[in-house]
Structure 1
Amino acid sequence: MNYKKVQAGFFLSLFGLVVILSVAVFLPYIYSIIFAFILAVVFHPVYKLLLRLSFFQRFRGLASFLIVLLILFIILLPLITIGLVLIKEASSLYSSLVQDEFSYKLLEKIEISINTLMPQFASYDLTANFDSLAKDTLNFVIKNLGLIFSNVLSIVFGFFMTLFAMYYILKDSPKIKNQLILLSPLSDKYDKRITAKLMLAVNSVIKGTLLVALIQGVLAGLGFWIFGVPNPVLLGAITVIAALIPAVGTASIMIPTIVYIFATGHFLPAIGLTVWAFLLVGMIDNILRPKLIEKDIKIHPLLIFISALGGLAIFGAPGFIIGPLIMALLYAMIDIYKEEFQNYLRNSR
């Protein structure tokens, strides 16, 4: 028996076992690690700006720590503030929908119109079903307060784990990159190109899709507040989600809101919000998105939407971001494939 073969087989078996155990250890925090890499890529340009100063070149850890503080300031604090306002506005909205007489009158008018246009739905009591739905929703929230609180704590812990991991990823980014290239069986040329394309894809998806949707939601919420629409923060948050859906977009929130304002007799605010929605909320997508999305990687909005839904189905809530990033990685790999094998593809025809 060849001793070297036995030794190699034993080592590979042991190595495989250790890899499996290591994956099992890191698996509970895999989302935090993924988001840490995403944030590190997004904020890497800011980190490089800090490193231009000779002081931070000697203290890379301090530069990384300042980026963590920056993220806390621009992400965590606004999220906490908006979350508290959302809870307050959602409670206020529930009270107004259940108790407000106008809401029931509006529902009755809608019900009459539906019964007139579609008699087959005449037996459906829209008002009663709305009241039942509102009460069931409130009961569900009350019964699951413990679970909701537990999930909130889990999200907060995961966020701080992400920041902790991101600190070391930024601080040791050259070492991490060199080690990955060293361990990869591909040539260094391929590794560097894949890394560059992936970073480009991450920035394109985050800036070109999520950032644009966030800006549209903020502008929509600001417009709701200026023109006196109730619960502007809640509606703005819903607008962010709507902005991510192709062919639906912000219009699915803006138009019903404008119609509601008209129905309540506030004609001037409705006209003002219409102009605001068209000039700011709607046009910002056409102005910003082409500038934020890199020319080298362009993903169709429908594919982003489908990949987000697929990500949600497979990975849960984090999949809303992970799904589009996987699609972006696929685009990057296809792009490299076309560049590297274009001569072969042409000659094979």
Structure 2
Amino acid sequence: MYAKLETRTFLALLVGVSLAFVFLMKPFFGPIFWAVAIALIFHPVQQMVIRKLGDRPNLNALITLVCCMVIVVIPVLVLVTSLVAEGVGLYQRIQSGEIRPGDYIDQVADSFPAIEAFLAPFGIDFAELRDRAVSLFVGGSQFLAKQAIGVGQNTFQFFLGQALMVYLAFFFLRDGDKLVELIIRALPLGDERERLLFAKFAEVTRATVKGNLLIAIIQGALGGLIFWMLGISGALLWGVVMAVVSLLPAVGAGLVWVPAAIYLAAVGDVVEAVILTAFGVLVIGLADNLLRPVLVGRDTKLPDYIVLLSTLGGLVMFGINGFVMGPLVAALFMAFWGIFIREFGEGSDVVQTPVGEASDVDKSV
């Protein structure tokens, strides 16, 4: 009786201390998560370095981390800085009256009166729609301006987060395999199940980060290039914006280039509008339609509609980190139910992922 009480008390304290630790780490969720993602994505690079240099953990992890900094971290920081600077300039031009978003929308309405007539049967007031679009446009540029001010005022905090991410990534690269084995020993789920879940975690994280970021970079670069070639001002800004919105499956960069094409047609630049539309559909859109199922859907083994819904839900719940967290939660949900159906259900033959694949975690983490 006393032994049971001791065990229950210990488990209760264990849960309490664990929850306290989670809340303690909550402010650093972003750096921790991306440090784990870096370790997973660059694990193959680290294995290549190990084959070249042998078992030298500190040096191998350091070389891998430097590769990550050169390939990913520094270019992303440069792009974000450029985006914020372009956004501040845009906001200042709106405030000074040099740019009037409402005038652009009115010009489109005047050139294409059929738009207002088409919306009327659906009870959509074009004037109200115009005001919302202007507010969204102004709000977006104002948000970028505030971010620039925030980064300037919280420079120390910003660089602290980046330094913490890099610092943790080094240790995850060096000690990742040992940490996974330690967690497997600690969790009371059964080693085979835990290895399967860790394999799925690594697989989905690697696929969503690499796939979505690669698609975003390609679409943003293509969009910025065509804007620059057509002489549309702020090509860098709109290219980065297209890269960001391309994280949304099925919608993506069309949120930017479609209104731009409509405006070009409204002001009489029909040739430019046709070129932008053709390029957007045949090049930018095709890149998304071809690459996303291959890079994201295939590796995560999730249906396209689950990828879309989980990405949107993840963005709502977790912010920008949600484009990875959403599909990750969905994949783990399906993995847990797959294990349950196989081990406790009658129709176990419908599950295609056998427990034996769990051994792949040693190659993935």
Assess same fold via TM > 0.5: yes
How many residues align? The count is 342
- Residue 233 (structure 1) shift: 1.8
Q: Is 1:293 paired with 2:316?
A: no
Q: Does the 8 Å CA contact 1:205/1:328 hold for their aligned counterparts?
A: no
Q: Is 1:205 paired with 2:202?
A: no
* 3-state SS of 2:300 partner: coil
User: Amino acid of the residue matched to residue 45 of structure 2?
Assistant: V
Per-residue CA deviation, residues 90-121 of structure 1 (Å, 9 max, x unaligned), is 24434555645896654443455499745995
Q: Is 1:253 paired with 2:256?
A: yes
1:226 to 226, 229, 232: 229
Q: Which runs of 5+ in 2 are unaligned?
A: 351-365
- Name which structure has the greater RCO, CA cutoff 8 Å, separation 6+: 2
Identity among equivalent pairs (%) = 27
1:88-107 alignment to 2 at 5 Å?
88-94=85-91, 99-100=97-98, 106-107=104-105
- Give the distance between the partners of 2:47 and 2:149, measured in 1 at CA: 43
Q: Does the 8 Å CA contact 1:311/1:319 hold for their aligned counterparts?
A: yes
Q: Does the 8 Å CA contact 1:201/1:332 hold for their aligned counterparts?
A: no
- Give the distance between the partners of 1:275 and 1:330, measured in 2 at CA: 40
Per-residue CA deviation, residues 269-309 of structure 1 (Å, 9 max, x unaligned), is 44443343233211112332233236463334443344344
2:73 to 73, 76, 82: 76
* 3-state SS of 2:325 partner: helix
User: Amino acid of the residue matched to residue 55 of structure 2?
Assistant: R
Name the CA shift for 1:331/1:233 in 2 (closer, same or farther; >3 Å): farther
- Residue 33 (structure 1) shift: 1.9
- Please report the TM-score for the alignment, with normalisation by the length of structure 2: 0.76
Q: Does the 8 Å CA contact 2:225/2:235 hold for their aligned counterparts?
A: yes
- Residue 47 (structure 1) shift: 1.4
Q: Could you tell me which residue of structure 2 aligns to residue 39 of structure 1?
A: 38
- Please report the TM-score for the alignment, with normalisation by the length of structure 1: 0.79
- Residue 167 (structure 1) shift: 1.0
Q: Could you tell me which residue of structure 1 aligns to residue 25 of structure 2?
A: 26
- Give the distance between the partners of 1:171 and 1:120, measured in 2 at CA: 57
- Residue 17 (structure 1) shift: 4.8
User: Amino acid of the residue matched to residue 107 of structure 2?
Assistant: K
Q: Which runs of 5+ in 1 are unaligned?
A: none
Q: Does the 8 Å CA contact 1:194/1:336 hold for their aligned counterparts?
A: no
Q: Does the 8 Å CA contact 1:242/1:250 hold for their aligned counterparts?
A: yes
- Give the distance between the partners of 1:335 and 1:11, measured in 2 at CA: 32
Q: Could you tell me which residue of structure 1 aligns to residue 61 of structure 2?
A: 64
Name the CA shift for 1:215/1:9 in 2 (closer, same or farther; >3 Å): same
Q: Could you tell me which residue of structure 2 aligns to residue 283 of structure 1?
A: 286
- Give the distance between the partners of 2:297 and 2:142, measured in 1 at CA: 47
RMSD after superposition:
3.9
- Give the distance between the partners of 2:273 and 2:255, measured in 1 at CA: 16
